[in-house]
Amino acid sequence: MTTQHLRSGRLPSVFYALAALMAALLTLPFIALLWRLVGIEPFALSRTPILDALLVSMRTTTISVVLVVALGTPLAYALARFQFPGKRLISALVEVPIVMPPVVAGLALLLAFGRRGLIGASLVDLGLMVIFTPAAVIITQVFVSAPFYIRAAQTRFAAVPRDLEEAARIDGANEWLVFRHITLPLSLPALLTGLALAWARALGEFGATILFAGNLQGR
């Protein structure tokens, strides 16, 4: 049977059956969600608690992804192009928030930025309180979402053809112009994909946020 399929150029039926099963597993929950939403009152989303939560989420995630891009792009480029002490350690630590349970992530942030935390104690002495504030929400979102963007950017930066960059340097372009006009445009699709993943992760974060930032309705 296998030989027959190979000769005919077709895949075995079980291949398509498994693909259909996986597609059903991924799509049925969304179909069920949409089906359930049909029965919701038309103006339910305009109620104050729900609207407040949506507005807070949109504000904080917007700020978070801006910070992820501003801080993550240079780090991703450095990890992709340069050799420096501690590179392997930093590259490994970038991956940790992806696999870290939400409660552990929240606890780690508390130990770093809490009143008696590694950095938080000094901030308190300066009159700055981080935990249970909107800033804590943003820090949490950046912490859990940045790895998705950094890893996508790092992989793409490393794959950009060096001969194109070298040709630009020969023509007199400095490093910033090379990055801006060659490296960045060639990497843009991967950067946008990583950004979308980071935004989705930030928007969906709850466990670490509730532990580190608390419930900030309307704030």
3-state SS, one letter per residue, for 168-201:
HHHCCCCHHHHHHHHHHHHHHHHHHHHHHHHHHH
User: Is the distance from CB of 56 to CB of 218 less than 8 angstroms?
Assistant: yes
Q: What is the CATH number of the domain that holds 78?
A: 1.10.3720.10
Burial class (CB in 10 A: 0-12, 13-18, 19+), 22: exposed
**Summary mean pLDDT of the chain:** 85
| 218 domain residue, yes or no | no
The pLDDT, as a whole number, for residue 132 is: 83
pLDDT (average), residues 84-106: 92
Q: Which residue has the tokens 């009159």?
A: 127
The pLDDT, as a whole number, for residue 219 is: 47
| 96 domain residue, yes or no | yes
In a shared domain, residues 80 and 142: yes
Contacts by residues 113-116 (CB-CB < 8 Å, ≥ 24 positions apart): 113/139, 113/212
| 159 domain residue, yes or no | yes
The pLDDT, as a whole number, for residue 6 is: 47
Burial class (CB in 10 A: 0-12, 13-18, 19+), 6: exposed
In a shared domain, residues 194 and 109: yes
| 78 domain residue, yes or no | yes
Q: Which residue has the tokens 């950004």?
A: 195
In a shared domain, residues 86 and 172: yes
CA distances for 214 relative to 64, 106, 124, 149, angstroms: 17, 10, 18, 26
In whole angstroms, give the CA distance from residue 176 to residue 187: 15
pLDDT in tens, 120-161: 888 888 888 888 888 888 999 999 999 999 999 999 999 999
Task: Please give the residue that has the higher pLDDT: either 146 or 9.
Answer: 146
| 219 domain residue, yes or no | no
Task: Please give the residue that has the higher pLDDT: either 8 or 170.
Answer: 170
> In which domain, by residue range, is 30 found?
1-39
In a shared domain, residues 164 and 191: yes
Task: Please give the residue that has the higher pLDDT: either 155 or 38.
Answer: 155
* 3-12, 114-123, 130-139: least confident range: 3-12
